[in-house]
Amino acid sequence: MNFSFVNFDDESLYGIKAEELRELEEAIYRVYGNVEYMVFDEIHNVERWELFISRLRESGKKIIITGSNSKMLSGELATYLTGRHLDYTLFPFSFKEYLKFKGVELGELLSTRERAELKNELENYINVGGFPESLILGREQTDVIYNDILFKDIVSRLKIKQIGRFKDFANTLISYYSSEVSLSRLAKTMGIDEKTVFYWSFGMENSYLVYFLPRYGQRLRERLTYSKKVYVIDTGLISRVAARKKDKGRLIENLVALKLLRDNQLKGLYYISEKNYEVDFYDEVNNRLIQVTYATDKVEEREIRGLIRAYEKVRARELIVVTYDVEGEEKVAEGKSIKLVPLYKFLLEY
């Protein structure tokens, strides 16, 4: 592919003005020639960058823009490139990408040795996560990535002055991974103004650090007013940051959430919580209900019962229980069956 690449986080481009972008364009042609694709990373650091990109697009260039601020990028692109752009959210490595990075090759039918190797790699993936830098340089690099996101992508952009309190809040919120969280209650517990907590949490989600999963409601108003569950962008980050004792079941649930969010590109995913039952995920895009449990030999009855009750509510096409190491099928009412799928298989094949 014939392309150029410019990183606006490079210190040599710090403070560049919109009127200087034409000179940058000339430099691109001198270095790369008449390229077909132009890749710009963090270009939203430049004021009025949208006009520059719009002009390049109108001249026939194919443009790829990457950045770490979702609302800023999508909002400004929508304003200046209406109907002429596609958004794609890039996550840390999936388990399949992680295995490819590690050079692990698997056949269609796994031998006992290959299955054991796969489970060892899965444990490492859960602990280290999928940030490429952490896999190359070591787990400590996750701390660097986390601090960069906090201070460069959130504190700097939101002009947060209470830096110490903000970091305490961020660590606390991450510790609620795979759990329902009330930001109002959290604000009261930490003695922080409620508006501030909502503003800070918006910044964390906007910078792809966490994702708030809405509770399913048949009315839009219900979906907007219910509490939400929080998931963290990388399980390796949880292992490094979360204050509370690590919970294997919640880590697995967070991993499944990341796969579903990645596959659905953040769309059509909910959790179901009613008076007598809960289901971890309702994948509206693929019309399936998914329960997650750290089961190694037997799935508890309440997990099955919850899926059946939720099925009566949304009539999903497929019912799945993701386990740690149980595989099989449970026959239930109305000719439906529930698939019991080991975590590694769900991450690789579903």
* Residue 156, both tokens: 């700097």
Per-residue pLDDT of the chain (350 residues; tens, 9 = 90+): 689 999 988 888 888 988 899 999 999 999 999 999 999 998 887 888 888 988 898 888 999 988 876 655 566 666 666 667 788 889 999 999 999 999 998 777 778 888 889 999 999 999 999 999 999 999 999 999 999 999 988 998 889 999 999 999 999 999 999 999 999 999 999 999 999 999 999 999 989 999 999 999 866 665 566 789 999 999 999 999 986 667 899 999 999 999 999 999 999 999 999 988 999 999 999 999 999 999 888 899 999 999 999 999 999 999 999 999 999 998 887 778 999 999 999 999 99
- Give the position of tokens 């939101």: 158
Give backbone dihedrals phi and psi of 214, rounded to 5 degrees, phi first: -75, 150
DSSP string computed for 158-210: HT-S-HHHHHHHHHHHHHTTTEEE-HHHHHHHHT--HHHHHHHHHHHHHTTSE
pLDDT of residue 10: 85
Say how many C-beta atoms besides its own lie within 10 A of residue 8's C-beta.
Answer: 17
**Euclidean distance between CA atoms 146 and 2, whole angstroms:** 33
Hey, what long-range contacts does 51-56 have (CB within 8 A, 24 or more apart)?
A: 51/18, 51/80, 52/18, 52/21, 52/22, 52/25, 53/80, 53/81, 54/80, 54/81, 56/25
Query: Whole-prediction pTM value?
Result: 0.89
What are the structural domain ranges in the chain?
3-80, 96-349
